[in-house]
Amino acid sequence: MELKQHLSDITQEVFLSMLSLEVVPGEPLREFSNAHSHTVSGMVGMTGLYKGALAIHASIEVAKKITSQMLFMDVDEVDEDVMDAMGEMANMLAGNMKTALSSNGKDIELSVPSAVTGDHYSIDIKNTGEHLIVPFSTDIGDFSVQFNFEKHN
């Protein structure tokens, strides 16, 4: 199965199981950029057989809605709950990618999830090797999932 299909399937499964939210993948973005504005990004690093990172990027409004659905409560501002929820979404996506890419689950290690937000920021995700950014549409708004990696033997 190709990488785009793995990423699309995993994202759809995680959003459906965790948020009861259907997501529709779009065509992968051709342009690569680490610059973001007015968004929240959750990230998880990966090392071992695959070295890189997986990140989920959502507008501030969509990140608050994701958090609201995840925690079953209203979220009015970007706070610790939003940052934790976006980090956890990245963690679940990365964990499922690890399972899809690893035959034994021991040759890939994941970092602790983290999240950032701001009016304008840049994430230094290595752009060598392969990179894939897939946009997704939902009833609560759009977001994208980015996966950058190099395979090591």
Which secondary-structure segment (H or E) carries 64? helix 60-71
In a domain, 30, yes or no: no
What's the CATH code of the domain at 83?
3.40.1550.10
The total number of structural domains that make up the chain: 1
- To the nearest 10 degrees (0 to 180), the angle between helices 3-19 and 60-71 is 50
Q: How many CA atoms lie within 13 A of 38 on its CB side?
A: 3
In a domain, 129, yes or no: yes
DSSP 66: H
CB 146 within 8 A of CB 133: yes
Average pLDDT over residues 95-109: 86
CA dist 59 and 61 (Å) reads: 5
- The per-residue pLDDT for 128 is 63
> Other C-beta atoms within 10 Å of 151: how many?
11
SS3 49: coil
What pTM value is reported for the model? 0.92
Residue 100 lies in a domain: yes
Tell me, yes or no, whether 9 lies in a domain.
Answer: yes
- pLDDT single digits (tens) 19-48: 999 999 999 987 767 777 789 999 999 999
- Alpha-carbon Rg for the chain, nearest whole angstrom, is 14
Q: What is the pLDDT of residues 43-73, one digit of tens each?
A: 999 999 888 899 999 999 999 999 999 999 9
pLDDT of residue 153: 66
pLDDT tens digits for 124-138? 766 567 888 999 999
